[in-house]
Structure 1
Amino acid sequence: MSIASPCINICRMSAATGLCEGCFRSLDEIARWSRHDDAEKLRILERVAQRRADPGAAAAPTLASTEGA
């Protein structure tokens, strides 16, 4: 199975959230997309769906929140 990127060609990073305003992914998620296996891509898509549902809850990722990821 090949999981399509959620990119919608609105590539603008939000300074407030650290996420792309188009696809709701972080720079790290965008940069590593092609190297992730399908299981990780599906996990990212789940996070994207949560971020879209409640964009106010998305905060800029911190070092602590990305450690161990």
Structure 2
Amino acid sequence: MTKWHKTEEQKLVSACVHICNLIEGSKVCGGCFRTTDEIAAWRKLDVEARRAILQQAELRQQDYPQ
């Protein structure tokens, strides 16, 4: 399993997929689709908050087709 295809458990530790780049005109990472605020807060969040962010990031990805 590569770092770009993480299990749910691995994503909860770190959602980063090592393709970090902000989408032009936004504060959204084009790799993990988290916002810069979500990325900055990640280490302080509990598991449920991290799951919620992962769900939002998945939905957000649909707004930014590649």
Q: Same fold (TM over 0.5)?
A: yes
Once superposed, which parts of structure 1, at least 4 consecutive aligned residues long, lie more than 4 Å away?
none
SS at match of 1:23: coil
What's the TM-score once normalised by structure 1's chain length?
0.68
Task: Output the CA distance in 2 between the equivalents of 1:4 and 1:55.
Answer: 25
Deviation of 1:37 (Å): 0.5
For the pair 1:55 / 2:63, whether they are aligned, the reply is yes
Task: Output the CA distance in 2 between the equivalents of 1:18 and 1:27.
Answer: 6
For the pair 1:23 / 2:35, whether they are aligned, the reply is no
The higher relative CO (CA closer than 8 Å, separation ≥ 6) is in 1
Task: Output the CA distance in 2 between the equivalents of 1:29 and 1:46.
Answer: 12
Deviation of 1:51 (Å): 1.4
List runs of 5+ in structure 2 lacking aligned partners: 1-8
For the pair 1:33 / 2:46, whether they are aligned, the reply is no
What's the TM-score once normalised by structure 2's chain length?
0.71
- Residues matched between the structures, number: 56
List runs of 5+ in structure 1 lacking aligned partners: 57-69
| Partner residue in 1 for 2:52 | 43
